[in-house]
Amino acid sequence: MSDLIISGANGNMGRLVNDLVESLEEFEVVALFDPSYNSNQEKNLKKSDITNLPKADLIVDFSSSSSILLNSEYWVSNYKNIIIGSSGLTKEDRNVLEDSLNDDQLFWIVPNFSIGSILQKKWSIEASKYFRFASITERHHSKKQDTPSGTSYDLASNLTHIVSENLSENKDTVNVNDINITSIRDDKYLAEQEIVLSGNDEVLSIEHISLSRDSFTKGILIALSEYKKLSGLNVGLDAVLK
pLDDT in tens, the chain (242 residues): 899 999 999 999 999 999 999 989 999 999 999 999 986 665 689 999 999 999 999 999 999 988 999 999 999 999 999 999 998 898 899 999 999 999 999 999 999 999 999 999 999 999 999 999 999 999 999 988 788 999 999 999 999 889 999 998 888 999 999 999 999 999 999 999 999 999 989 999 999 999 999 999 999 999 999 999 999 999 999 889 87
C-alpha distances out from residue 36 to 33, 225, 241, Å:
9, 29, 35
Specify the pLDDT at position 200. 86
Specify the pLDDT at position 38. 82
Single-letter amino acid, residue 110? V
Q: pTM of the prediction?
A: 0.88
Which superfamily is assigned to 115-211 in CATH?
A: Dihydrodipicolinate Reductase; domain 2 (3.30.360.10)
Phi-psi region of 88 (alpha: psi -120 to 50; beta: other; left: phi over 0): left
How far is residue 225 CA from its own chain's centroid?
17
Specify the pLDDT at position 42. 58
Q: What CATH number does the domain located at 2-109+214-239 have?
A: 3.40.50.720
Specify the pLDDT at position 133. 97
Domain parsing of the chain, residue ranges: 2-109+214-239, 115-211
Specify the pLDDT at position 21. 94
